[in-house]
């Protein structure tokens, strides 16, 4: 842009932001003509009345009324300096959207005023210490879906400039679904918690609902796009996705046992207990931290970070093992985008909020077509989806049941500061984030499964009420087999619980369960009936019945025969005599 106030005034006189040599020549000629026609004070006055101050406010008087509910002549030094800093970047330096940044900018201007001799050092220091007391009034904010509207407005202003956006008669066609938006706003408000909800259509990347807070009037801060928070265990799908794509299966075994790494760190499970050898399927369902950390170490931190960025995570991820516990901050929008890549069977589509833009004459000046990129194998994504379905069926996400096929993952950070549930059906991906802006804990046991999952379920049930119930599309290279729940291997007759688990063809187990072996009972002796309880009395009775009595009988029979023989001998002996 132009480097002088006169040139800036000339630029703002034109409606469009055309960048060409012809346009630049026109700007220079107009600036020269302005300087010939007006005094410097008049030029400054026109500039201050024309320049854009953000949130639809043109001119310093409009800005004073909007930000402080005062006339410009009633502003104090600190307020004047803050407003003066806004035109350089109306969205970035907005005290409504970025209070900390706007205050830093205010203080830079106060320093400059002191160096140029406009104010004393005492005045400068007093103004710097002055707290920001906004009295924000803006009729433009009384709109439908205010967080979404301000989100697309910032995009439009960056691309087209304030003149075109506010004076150009543009028609903006957005991706928002008003019914879903109303359901999302209601779900968050009725929860009583602060947080965000964002819903994306995975096949198109269209943002269908966006709620950046429970009350836009109280806070313009859009937590859906601006809140960088730790996702906790909601990050684990990207570790398991990487593992499944690099030789691991749902039946792979990892020891859930205490471990201390070289730096002295010993990760803990939520329940402070260990389960011993567990399958990846069970570890994922129960969100076992120690297994997640060990798996990250085995797969490789750099590889997991690479997969996460390919999925759609744009924030920097710190390369250490605590990544398994979701310690690197992300926004709800970017993690919802990354989950959408999984839901879309490995095809990434960047999120879209604007479908097309027409100018005042109806000419299409922008037409957003979803940009698709295949980043993961569909069979790997499908196996992970199946594992995420089990999280809802019998894992930490049991509060997210919605009566139709759905997959998801809970997330909770240390001391219950942040709670997440991010999940999807084949038609819709939704991220629910709950947390206080001051990082105050939500309360004991207030996990993602307890706090965020019910909000997610309430929204999804309403949003998909009229949609057909669909199952996730199964790729060709997939097989589903029965396995022992505990070992993950083929079941024997002795396995107490059997599950159907999804595998990539060729990776399914082929050996039988080694935990539950088949035991054969020794055949019982014919002469003894089964003794149900080894009581001494029963044994004695049986012994008497089957041993003593037959022996007695045999003895009686033998005595009778002998006596007959003896009698015969006696008889014939007498006859011989």
Mean pLDDT of the 47-59 span: 86
Q: How would you class 6 by CB atoms within 10 Å of its CB: exposed for 0-12, middle for 13-18, buried for 19 or more?
A: buried
pLDDT tens, position by position, 87-127: 988 989 999 989 999 999 999 999 999 999 999 999 999 99
521 confidence band (pLDDT: 50, 70, 90): very low
Whole-angstrom distance, CA of residue 557 vs CA of residue 71: 131
CATH entry, 181-463, from 3.30.565.10, 3.30.450.20, 3.90.1150.10, 3.40.710.10: 3.40.710.10
Q: What is the pLDDT of residues 527-555, one digit of tens each?
A: 545 555 555 566 566 666 655 444 444 44
Q: Is 463 helix (H, G, I), strand (E, B) or coil?
A: helix
Lookup: tokens for 251? 């039946």
The reported pLDDT for the residue numbered 529 is: 53
d(CA 148, CA 458): 21
Residue whose pair of structure tokens reads 């001998």 in the numeric block:
569
Q: Indicate left, alpha or beta for 416 from its phi (over 0: left) and psi (-120 to 50: alpha).
A: left
What are the start and end residues of each CATH 3.40.710.10 domain in the chain?
181-463
The pLDDT tens digits for 437-475 are 999 999 999 999 999 999 999 999 999 999 999 999 999
Token representation of residue 437: 């802006």
Domain ranges in the chain with CATH number 1.10.3810.10 = 5-171
At residue 199, the pLDDT reads 98
Rounded to two decimals, the pTM is: 0.74
> Residue range 328-353: average pLDDT?
98
Tens-place pLDDT, residues 176-200: 999 999 999 999 999 999 999 999 9
Chosen CATH of 5-171 out of 3.30.300.130, 1.10.3810.10, 2.40.50.140, 3.30.1300.10: 1.10.3810.10
The answer for residues whose C-beta is within 8 angstroms of residue 97's C-beta and 6 or more apart is: 91, 150, 154, 220, 221, 222, 226
pLDDT at 363 over 90: yes
Mean per-residue pLDDT, 133-148: 82
């Amino acid at each position: 842009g132009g480097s002088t106030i006169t040139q800036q005034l000339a630029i703002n006189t034109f409606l469009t932001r055309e960048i060409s040599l012809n346009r630049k020549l026109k700007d220079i000629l107009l600036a020269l003509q302005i300087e010939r026609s007006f005094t410097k004070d008049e030029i400054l006055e026109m500039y201050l009345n024309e320049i854009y101050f953000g949130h639809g406010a043109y001119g310093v008087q409009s800005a004073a009324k909007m930000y402080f509910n005062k006339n410009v002549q009633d502003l104090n030094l600190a307020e004047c300096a803050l407003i003066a800093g806004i035109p350089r970047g109306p969205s970035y330096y907005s005290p409504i959207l970025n209070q900390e940044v706007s205050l830093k900018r205010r203080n830079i201007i106060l320093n400059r005023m002191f160096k140029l001799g406009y104010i004393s050092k005492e005045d400068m220091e007093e103004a710097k210490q002055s707290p920001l007391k906004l009295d924000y009034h803006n009729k433009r904010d009384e709109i439908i879906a205010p967080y979404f509207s301000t989100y697309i407005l910032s995009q439009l202003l960056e691309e087209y400039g304030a003149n075109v956006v506010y004076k150009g008669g543009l028609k903006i066609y957005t991706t928002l679904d008003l019914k879903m938006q109303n359901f999302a706003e209601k779900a968050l408000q009725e929860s009583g918690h602060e947080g965000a909800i964002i819903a994306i259509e995975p096949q198109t990347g269209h943002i269908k609902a966006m709620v950046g807070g429970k009350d836009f009037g109280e806070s313009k801060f859009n937590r859906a796009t601006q809140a960088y928070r730790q996702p906790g265990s909601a990050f684990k799908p990207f570790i398991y996705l990487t593992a499944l794509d690099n030789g691991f299966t749902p039946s792979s075994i990892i020891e859930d046992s205490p471990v201390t790494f070289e730096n002295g760190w010993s990760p803990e499970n939520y329940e402070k207990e260990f389960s011993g050898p567990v399958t990846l399927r069970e570890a994922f369902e129960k969100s076992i931290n120690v297994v997640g950390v060990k798996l990250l170490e085995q797969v490789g931190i750099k590889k997991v970070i690479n997969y996460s960025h390919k999925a759609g995570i744009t924030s920097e991820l710190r390369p250490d093992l605590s990544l398994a516990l979701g310690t690197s901050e992300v926004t709800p929008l970017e993690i919802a985008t990354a989950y959408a890549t999984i839901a879309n069977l490995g095809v990434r589509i960047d999120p879209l909020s604007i479908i097309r833009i027409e100018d005042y004459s109806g000419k299409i000046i922008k037409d957003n077509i979803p940009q698709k990129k295949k980043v993961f194998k569909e069979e790997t994504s499908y196996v992970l989806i199946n594992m995420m379905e089990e999280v809802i069926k019998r894992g930490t996400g049991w509060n997210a049941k919605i009566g139709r096929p759905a997959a998801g993952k809970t997330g909770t950070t240390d001391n219950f500061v942040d709670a997440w549930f991010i999940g999807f059906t084949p038609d819709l991906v939704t991220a629910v984030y709950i947390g206080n802006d001051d990082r105050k804990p939500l309360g004991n046991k207030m996990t993602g499964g307890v706090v965020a999952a019910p909000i997610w379920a309430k929204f999804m049930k309403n949003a998909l009420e009229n949609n057909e119930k669909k199952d996730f599309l199964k790729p060709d290279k997939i097989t589903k087999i029965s396995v022992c729940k505990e070992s993950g291997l083929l079941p024997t007759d002795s396995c107490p619980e059997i599950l159907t688990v999804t595998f990539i063809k060729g990776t399914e187990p082929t050996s039988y369960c080694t935990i539950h072996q088949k035991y054969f009972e020794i055949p019982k002796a014919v002469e003894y009936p089964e003794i149900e309880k080894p009581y001494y009395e029963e044994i004695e009775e049986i012994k008497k019945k089957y041993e003593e009595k037959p022996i007695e009988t045999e003895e009686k029979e033998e005595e009778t025969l002998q006596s007959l023989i003896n009698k015969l001998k006696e008889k014939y002996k007498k006859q011989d005599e």
